[in-house]
Chain A
């Protein structure tokens, strides 16, 4: 193999598509992380994000594939119905977590873990039932990028344009929707009545209760919203990125999302930015793999990058993260 210089590696890796990939990879993480933020702000730990994403990724594809047969709808429209089905699946699954942790006051980590295991088993089983094979479903139609641009010939302004369009304009709709959701949720959390009450619930539910705010209703709403957002995350994975569902395809993204929520200090925009950092690490890993023979570092190291970053960021660099004071504690009236 010919020797390759550092400069060459850098110029090959640092291209618009590196950053575009970071944004793309960050999208499901960010959606789930914002869901986690809303859920934990209400005082309920949501370790089930992983399972919620997984189940909605599956039902998104399954609904999109069923559409032509059942409703006679084909093409991208079927995939959009799949997105709605994914949201619904996320909400239904989240309602289990809400019922267990709010109504039954069970341990929220145990409930979340149970949902993760259930989601893994259920999706694997349903692949066999629906598609008579193991591992992977059929492919649904991918939702295409919102804008399509051809690179312009090089030179001054054109280079800048190519960078901008390459990084920001080639994405699928949910990528943009995610950015809108992050900003809207941030605004809602700090400016609206809903946000003020949500923050009160997670910090001091009894204080909220004593001024007549329903803790149970507020927490149910929040958990179901996190289900809807995790559902969108699952839909993005299968219907915008991959096309089909394969077993355990979330591969820990739900947990990285949880970390992004913490790193983002329980704020929606913070969660998005943290997800972006993790997305960048993964995008970098994918591109650096091309140089495995050149850089004398074991390939496993690159695979580890996003996870190491998670650990380093949470343990080392962010100082003390202050969680909502009442998070994880079931609310008991006296």
Chain B
């Protein structure tokens, strides 16, 4: 008997059928991967199971018994736990406090922290989930925060564990470690639903794969019976290129030159320490590293969002070290920011307005301080079709687009400006394979048009498939440089986490890297 069974679950949002007659089973001790593009309805389905959303039709059975789950509390009581994509952790509380929250061991209303801590340590040891129980969550690494989330579900008594895009924020080593933990949970009798859009994870870890598209289940298979190509076809509904074809680079003159850059972060700590590198026309240079090692600060310094403490930045020989964002744009730098919601778009503005941000002061979009709606509309129309932004019209608010279309919108603006140098930070974060393919092709097209491209990405897959040169950053310093295609993910992972300095072969420390 399956531990969890969904029969014909339907969930309708105004104007959208998010789940259309979805059926699914999960056996005891099994890992089922729920695969699909963003917006395919995977998270919606699991939020229904967890009681965060109320279904409009269908049935849920736990251990063969029909159940009505209207609140997370009921899901928890049925033994269902969920690790959300955006962690449900209270940053100012300790790991222990977060884990026991909602089921605190108490004596007369007073929380017994010693008992709580002991349970956390016991669980943590039993399943090999290393955490620091006394640290506040804000002080923990992302990987450890995720372990706190898993422990929280286990503490609540979960037998069925739903993991929503668990690897999006992890390093390759952490991913391996996570799947080790998941395997041990399943061995101990738990059942796991893994929501993902990453094909290699599915093939590496799942016992069974259920593929969703447009709110429906479109297929089910076992990893042994399939491969990445056919999974991608099932998921997207057409053939996709998983790794874009790329000709050899044809580097020209130096476009962007960063010399001895020192930058402080928000907490005024020294985040970038004497970083030097060059990006030539016609090449993609990638900075690989674990999140929070100074990548964001380097980019912010280049584009004028952060004042460097020392060093210099030049674009085609012009000093832009202390330029404002406006003059940096004018000098020919375009920036695809890492957070498209916070920095890339004004979600409350429509597409046309978003498409001219940064250029709004210039002809033809404005004259003497007045916007020129006709010119704006014409450009918007052209760029929307050129960049394949799927929208009913240019007057839709940017916030109403899907993530992939929002990212295309950012690209349409930044590349439509015809820059000399493109700075792309995590350009495919949260996108599915179809959209990734589009973004990657665009970035390479810029390179082939003789633009300099600086790519910052946490996704090694992306770094490897796009970069002509790879710089590895660790704790604010560039610690290694590789030629594109000459290094595997494991080696990069070692350097990214501070190991292997100078040990591995194939390291070239030319090109102004301070190793």
Residues of A within 8 A of B (CB): 191-194, 196-197, 199-200, 203-204, 206-213, 325, 333-334
Contacts and interface: CB of A to CB of B under 8 A. Distances in A.
Contact of B76 (A199, A211, A333): A211
Contacts of A194: 109
Nearest to A326: B90
**Which 8 residue pairs spanning A and B have beta carbons closest together?**
A212-B73, A211-B102, A207-B88, A203-B90, A204-B90, A210-B72, A200-B90, A210-B88
B91 interface: yes
Contacts of B84: 210
Contacts of A334: 47, 52-53
B483 interface: no
B93 A199 contact: yes
Given A192-B111, A200-B93, 19 more contacts: A193-B104, A193-B106, A196-B93, A196-B101, A199-B90, A199-B92, A200-B90, A203-B92, A206-B88, A207-B88, A208-B90, A208-B102, A210-B72, A210-B88, A211-B76, A211-B102, A212-B71, A212-B102, A213-B101
Contacts of B52: 210, 333-334
Contacts of A212: 71-73, 76, 102
A209 B106 contact: no
Contacts of A204: 88-91
A325 B91 contact: yes
B111 A207 contact: no
A213 B152 CA distance: 14
Contacts of A196: 93, 97, 101, 104, 111
13 contacts: A191-B111, A192-B111, A193-B110, A199-B90, A203-B90, A204-B88, A206-B88, A207-B88, A207-B90, A207-B98, A209-B72, A212-B71, A212-B102
Interface residues of B, number: 28
Contacts, number: 71
Contacts of B73: 211-212
A303 B263 CA distance: 46
B492 interface: no
B101 A197 contact: yes
Interface in B35-65: 47, 50, 52-53
A192 B109 contact: yes
B82 interface: yes
A196 B102 CA distance: 9
Contacts of A207: 88-90, 98, 101
B90 A213 contact: no
A325 B92 CA distance: 9
Contacts of B106: 192-193
Interface in B407-428: none
Contacts of B171: none
A194 B88 CA distance: 19
Contacts of A192: 106, 109-111
Contacts of A325: 91-92
Nearest to B84: A210
B93 A203 contact: yes
Nearest to A325: B91
B429 to A, nearest CB: 21
A191 B110 contact: yes
A216 to B, nearest CB: 12
A25 to B, nearest CB: 32
Nearest to B47: A334
Contacts of B88: 204, 206-207, 210-211
B238 interface: no
